[in-house]
Amino acid sequence: MNVHEVSKLLNEHENVAELTKGEFVCPVCEKDTSDLLQLNNHLDSAHGFAEAVSNGNKSIDALSKKQEKGAEVGTKAKFDLKRSHWAKSNYGQSRCNECNIKVSRSTGVLNCRRCGQIFCVRHCQSVMRLNKNAEYDAQNGEWCRCCRSCFNNRPGYNEFGILENRTEEFVKLRTSKNEDKQLQLLQLEDRFVRLINGILQINRNHQDSLLASVRKSTEIWRFEKSVVPWTPDHFVLTCCICLKSFGLTLRKHHCRLCGKIVCDDVNTNCSNQIPVLSLVNAASDLPIKLPASLDASEVSTQIRACSICTRSIFKKRKFEKEMSMPLPVIFQIYESMYSNASIILATISGLQAAAGGVQEGSQTNSLSVSDVAKLSKTRRQLLNTFSAYDRLTKHLVSSQPNNSSEARIQSAIISQASAFIQRNMLPLKHLTSALTSGSLSQESTPETSPMSTALCFNNLSIKEVKDYRNQLMVIKEQRFLVEDMIATATKQRKFDEATTLAKNLEELKMQADGLAELLGEEGFK
Amino acid sequence: MLQFKLVLLGDSSVGKSSIVHRFVKDSFDEFRESTIGAAFLSQTVKLEKHQDVTIKFEIWDTAGQERYKSLAPMYYRNANAALIVYDVTQPGSLVKAQSWVEELKHKVGDQDLVICLVGNKLDLCEADSSVRQVEIDDAQTYAQEQHLLFHEVSAKTGAGIAKIFQEMGEKVYERKTAESAASAATQPRKTLNVELQRPSTNDSTSCCA
C-alpha cells in the first residue's frame, strides 16, 4: 500500500463519523442512534424486538407495555462478555485485520467481540447476538460488535437471502389449470360432436320432404338451443370478445358451441357463420356419424361459432395438419442450402489450417504426396459444394412464391445466401491461391467454380480489385507528396530537384491512369 | 555535374531514412516517423579517388511498409544505384533484403545498377553483442556471391555512412565514365556536348524568368 492510499484511507476514517450520522435513525420512533449496535439495542429494549424473536406470539398489548417499560428503564442490564480471547491493541502499532492499516485515534480501535481480533472502527461495524462465552446465540444473546468475516460466517447466514423452493407448488397449480383447460376442451368437443350429429340427422330427416326449407331451420334452431344453454339477451350489453356495445348496427349472436353472446363484426372476426361440412372436414378425427342415406354435399346448413371456440377446437388440428404437409419448395431448397452451408464452413476451416501447413511446408518442401492428394480432394469437394450452393440459390431466385409471406421469406433467404457467398468466396479464393502457389501447382486448377466467374468484376477477381485499389490509393498519396515536394523545391530555388520531381510526378500520373483503366468500373468514382 | 539516381530499399524500420538523413543532413532523430510513400533528397559527394570530382545523388527513400511495395518499381527503374538496408538485430530483415536483391536483379539487371547491401544499427551490437542476430560473415559471403558492395553502419553514430556513399559514388562514376568512353570510341563526334547545368525555368518567382 503506498503512501497516497494510506492517507486516503485515513481521510475516509475521519469522515466516517460525519457520514454515518443520521443513517441509524430508529424506524419506529425516529430516535437518532450513533451506530448499528446502538440501533439494535434500542430496537430490542425500547420496541421489544428481543421478545418478538424469542416468543413470537406475544400479543401487541404486551409489546406496547414492554415498550413503555423499556423506555422507562432506558439502559439495559450490564452484560458480562468474555474478554479473555481479545487481542491486545496499541495505538500506532496494531493493525486492522481487514484493511491492515495501523490503528490510531483517528481510525479508532475495536476488538471483534467474537474472534477477538483487532479492527479499526470502520471494519468492525457489523453486529450479531453473542452469549457470555462470545458464541453466536440468535435467541438469547446480546447485540455485540463483530467483524465482517465473523458476521458472514455465522451459522445460517446467507448473503443472498433465503431460498425457498416453490417448484412443487407451482407444478401443482399448473397441472390443475391444465387439467381444467383439457376438461373444458373435451366438453367443448363433445358439444361440438353432438351439435353436428344432430344437425346432420335433421338434414337427413328432411331430405325428401318438400317443406324442408321452412321446418328444417326451426328444428335446427330448437336443437341448437338444446345442446348448449344460450345466455339470455337482456343483460348482455357488449360483445364478450371485443367488448363493443351492441346496437342497431351491431346485432347480438349466440355462439352455438358455448352459448355466449358475441357480435359478428367483420373487422374483429368475433364470430362467423361456418358451413357444417367444412367443420366436419376440419375435425375428421372426432366421432361424427354421417347418416348412411345422406348426401353430404347437399347439406348447406351453417352454424355460428365464436372465434374462441373455433380456435380451441381447430388450432391444434390445423397446426398438426400443416406439419404433416410436405414443405413448400422454398423451404426444401433452404434446407438443402443450409446443410450445404454447414459443410462449406466446416471444410473451409479445415482447409485453412491445412493451407497454413502448406505455406510453411513450401519453404521446407516437406509435403508428402498423399497430403497433397488429400488436400486437393478436399478442395475439389469444397468447390463442388459451393457450386451446389450456388445452383440452389439460383433455383430459389427463379422459383415462384405462393403468397406474400413466402415472397418475403424468399427474398430474405436470397440476401442471406448472397452474403454467405461473399463472405466465404474470399477465403476460398485465398485458399486456392495459397494451395496452388504451394506444392499443388502441378494440379493446374482443373475446375474453377461457376461462382468465381459470377463474382468477377471486369475480368478481375475481388482480391485483384482490392490490390489494384490499394495501389491506386498509394500512388495518389504519393502524387500529393511529390506535388508538395515540388512546391518546396521551387520555393527553395532548387530547380534541378524540381525538374526531377516533376518527371516523377509525370510517371506517377501515367501509372495512376493505367491502374484506373485496369480497374474500369471498379475504380474510385 | 553528373547526377545519379539512388534508391533505398529494405524492410520497414531498418533505418533507411535515418541513413539518408545522416548522409544528407548529418543528423539523427531517435523517434523518426515511418516514411510515407517515397521521400526525395539530394546530396553532392566529392570523389577523392577521382581528383575531387563532384557528383550529385538524387536519393529516393522509399517506405518499407508492405502497403507501399507497389511504388518501389517506379523508383528503382532507371536508378544508378540501390542501397538495400537490413537491420543487424533482425534476421527477418536480411531475408527481405535478399528478396529485394532478387527483385532488382530480375527486373533491372545488375550491369546497369550498383547495389550495396548495408547492415544498419551497428551501435546496438557495440553496446551489447548479444543483440546481434545477423553475423557479419553471413551477410558478407552473401554479398560476395551476389557481387554486391557490403557495409555495416550505424546511422545513429554515423559510423560508415559517408564511406558507403563515397564508394557508391566511385562505382557509379567509374561505370559512367567507362560507358561514355565506350560510346566515345564508337561515336567519337557525339562527345562534344555542351551540358547546361540548370534547365531554364519559366517560374515567376525566379528573377531571370
Find, among B24, B12, B60, B19, the residue nearest to B39 by Cα: B60
**A contacts of B59 (beta carbons < 8 Å):** none
Cβ–Cβ < 8 Å for A239, A308: no
Residue B198: which of A496, A500, A507 has the nearest Cβ? Answer: A496
Residue A478: which of B71, B198, B199 has the nearest Cβ? Answer: B71
Residue A102's DSSP bridge partners are: A95
Mutation target among B71, B75, B197, B208 for the A interface, most CBs of A within 10 A: B71
DSSP assigned state of A520: G
Cβ–Cβ < 8 Å for A431, A348: yes
pLDDT reported for residue A61 = 46
pLDDT reported for residue A446 = 38
Is the CB of residue A205 less than 8 Å away from at least one CB of chain B?
no
Query: Which grid coordinates belong to A323?
Result: 406439419
Give the DSSP H or E segment for B120: strand B114-120
Mutation target among A469, A504, A509, A519 for the B interface, most CBs of B within 10 A: A504
Predicted confidence band of residue B60 (pLDDT cuts 50, 70, 90): very high
Handedness of CA B19, B22, B24, B29 (dihedral sign): positive
Q: How would you write the pLDDT of chain A (525 residues) with one tens digit per residue?
A: 454 555 555 455 444 444 445 577 888 888 887 778 788 888 887 887 765 555 544 444 444 444 444 444 444 445 777 888 888 877 778 888 888 888 888 888 888 888 888 888 888 888 888 888 888 888 888 888 888 888 888 877 776 777 788 999 999 999 999 999 999 999 998 988 988 888 888 888 887 766 667 778 888 888 888 888 888 888 888 888 888 888 888 888 899 888 889 988 888 888 888 888 888 888 778 888 777 777 767 777 888 889 998 888 888 888 888 888 887 788 888 888 888 888 888 887 777 777 666 655 555 455 566 777 777 788 788 888 888 888 888 888 888 877 888 888 888 888 888 888 888 777 666 666 666 554 444 333 333 344 444 444 455 677 888 888 888 888 988 999 999 999 999 999 888 889 989 999 999 999 888 888 888 766 554
Q: How far is A419 from chain B (nearest CA, A)?
A: 28
Domain boundaries of chain A, sorted by first residue: 3-153, 168-324, 329-454, 462-522
Cβ–Cβ < 8 Å for B158, B22: yes
Matching CATH topology for A3-153 and A329-454? Answer: no
Residues in chain B: 209
Query: Which grid coordinates belong to A403?
Result: 403468397
Is the CB of residue A53 less than 8 Å away from at least one CB of chain B?
no
Residue A238's DSSP bridge partners are: A245
> What is the separation, in whole angstroms, between the first and last Cα of chain B?
23
Which residue of chain B is at minimal alpha-carbon distance from A485? B40
Residue A481: which of B36, B197, B198 has the nearest Cβ? Answer: B36
Neighbours of B69 (CB within 10 A): 16
A80-85, long-range: CB within 8 Å, 24+ apart, which pairs? Answer: A80/A132, A81/A113, A81/A130, A81/A132, A81/A134, A81/A142, A81/A144, A82/A132, A82/A133, A82/A134, A83/A111, A85/A115, A85/A116, A85/A134
Find, among A92, A93, A112, A108, the residue nearest to A16 by Cα: A108
Residue B74: which of A470, A490, A507 has the nearest Cβ? Answer: A507
Query: Which grid coordinates belong to A18?
Result: 460525519
Contact (CB<8Å) B71/A491: no
pLDDT in tens, B188-203: 555 556 656 666 555 5
**A contacts of B58 (beta carbons < 8 Å):** 497, 500
- How far apart CA A165 and CA A444 sit, in angstroms, is 69
Contacts of A519 (CB under 8 A, 6+ apart): A458, A460, A465, A468, A469, A472
Contacts of A354 (CB under 8 A, 6+ apart): A375, A378
pLDDT reported for residue A282 = 81
Which residue of chain A is at minimal alpha-carbon distance from B201? A495
- How far apart CA A245 and CA A236 sit, in angstroms, is 9
Residues in chain A: 525
**Is residue B79 exposed (0-12), middle (13-18) or buried (19+ Cβ within 10 Å)?**
buried
Main-chain phi, psi angles of B41, to 5 degrees: -140, 160
Query: Which grid coordinates belong to A481?
Result: 507528396
Interface of B with A in 54-93 (CB under 8 A): 58, 67-68, 70-71, 74
- Which CATH fold would you assign to the domain A3-153? Herpes Virus-1 (3.30.40)
Give the DSSP H or E segment for B117: strand B114-120
Interface of A with B in 315-334 (CB under 8 A): none
Q: Which overall architecture, per CATH, does domain A329-454 show?
A: Up-down Bundle (1.20)
Size of interface A-B (CB pairs under 8 A): 51
pLDDT reported for residue B82 = 93
The rounded percent of chain B whose pLDDT value lies above 70 is: 88
Find, among B183, B125, B178, B153, the residue nearest to B15 by Cα: B153
Cβ–Cβ < 8 Å for A120, A103: yes
Pick one of 3.30.565.10, 3.90.1150.10, 3.30.40.10, 3.30.460.10 as the CATH number of A168-324. 3.30.40.10
Query: Which grid coordinates belong to B78?
Result: 532507371
Is the CB of residue A501 less than 8 Å away from at least one CB of chain B?
yes
- The vertex-A15 CA angle with A88 and A83, nearest 5°, equals 20
**B contacts of A492 (beta carbons < 8 Å):** none
pTM, rounded to two decimals = 0.40
Residue A478: which of B3, B37, B42 has the nearest Cβ? Answer: B37
pLDDT in tens, B137-167: 999 999 999 999 999 999 999 999 999 999 9
Query: Which grid coordinates belong to B150?
Result: 557490403
- How far apart CA B102 and CA B9 sit, in angstroms, is 12
Is the CB of residue A184 less than 8 Å away from at least one CB of chain B?
no
Predicted confidence band of residue B205 (pLDDT cuts 50, 70, 90): low
- How far apart CA B23 and CA A517 sit, in angstroms, is 40
pLDDT reported for residue B208 = 56
Q: How far is A474 from chain B (nearest CA, A)?
A: 6
Is the CB of residue B43 less than 8 Å away from at least one CB of chain A?
no
Q: What is the ipTM for the molecules in this complex?
A: 0.80
- How far apart CA B201 and CA A409 sit, in angstroms, is 70
- How far apart CA A24 and CA A45 sit, in angstroms, is 16
Contact (CB<8Å) A474/B198: no
**Is residue B17 exposed (0-12), middle (13-18) or buried (19+ Cβ within 10 Å)?**
buried
Residue corresponding to grid cell 504451394:
A438
Domain at B2-191: CATH code: 3.40.50.300
